[in-house]
């Protein structure tokens, strides 16, 4: 038992004091909370925190519905407006991302999502893991997205 505690202690110290081990990225933050009627399109701004440049590719992903997930909140992503240097992709209106396949620091910036209510319930829809910050070599961080619908 003592040997395992010692090995775990050394591994923990290496993770804390090793400059080559980067912390997971900070979470994105939703800035707008529109109320959308069925059929209506609105914009949601999301703030991406600054990144120090450690690691590789940087991908900021937005999920309305995950592949193989039975729950469908009845919202769709029509567009993600990415800053210069980031590529925008949209996957069947249920997932979009802004990606940069090179490493490098960036300041905080905003991404504007164009979202459509295609039949959501009245009131708040909380998507607990809708905003994913993923930096190669640093890990992933999830953040919630709140959308409000009216019939």
Going residue by residue through the chain, which has 151 residues, state the pLDDT in tens, using 9 for 90 and above.
Answer: 555 444 334 444 434 444 455 678 899 999 999 999 999 999 999 999 998 877 778 999 999 976 667 788 899 999 999 999 999 999 989 999 999 988 788 899 999 999 999 999 999 999 988 999 998 878 899 999 999 999 8
Q: Alpha-carbon distance 108 to 28, whole Å?
A: 10
Taking alpha carbons only, the member of 112, 149, 108, 109 closest to residue 127 is: 149
Which residues are paired to 147 by β-bridges?
Answer: 125
Count Cβ atoms within 10 A of the Cβ of residue 86 and give its class: 0-12 exposed, 13-18 middle, 19 or more buried: buried
Strands, E, within the chain: which ranges? 29-30, 35-37, 41-48, 58-63, 75-81, 87-91, 95-100, 109-117, 123-135, 139-150
The answer to whether the CB of 149 falls within 8 A of the CB of 37 is yes
Max CA separation in the chain (angstroms): 63
Alpha-helical runs (H) found in the chain: 2-17
Output the six-digit token pair for 44: 């949601």
> So what's the pLDDT on residue 140?
92
> So what's the pLDDT on residue 74?
93
Q: Give the domains, in start order, of the chain with CATH numbers.
A: 24-150 (2.60.40.3670)
Q: Alpha-carbon distance 113 to 98, whole Å?
A: 11
């Amino acid at each position: 038992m003592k040997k395992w505690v010692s090995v775990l202690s050394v591994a923990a110290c290496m993770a804390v004091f090793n400059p080559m081990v980067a912390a997971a990225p900070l979470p994105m933050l939703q800035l707008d909370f529109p109320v959308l009627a069925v059929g209506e399109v609105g914009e949601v701004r999301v703030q991406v925190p600054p990144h120090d440049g450690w690691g590789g590719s940087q991908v900021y992903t937005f999920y309305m519905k995950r592949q193989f997930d039975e729950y469908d909140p009845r919202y769709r992503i029509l567009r993600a407006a990415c800053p210069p240097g980031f590529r925008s992709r949209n996957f069947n209106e249920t997932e979009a991302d802004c990606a940069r396949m090179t490493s490098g620091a960036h300041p905080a910036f905003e991404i504007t999502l164009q979202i459509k209510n295609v039949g959501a319930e009245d009131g708040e829809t909380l998507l607990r893991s809708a905003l994913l910050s993923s930096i190669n070599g640093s890990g992933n961080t999830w953040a919630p997205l709140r959308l409000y619908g009216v019939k």
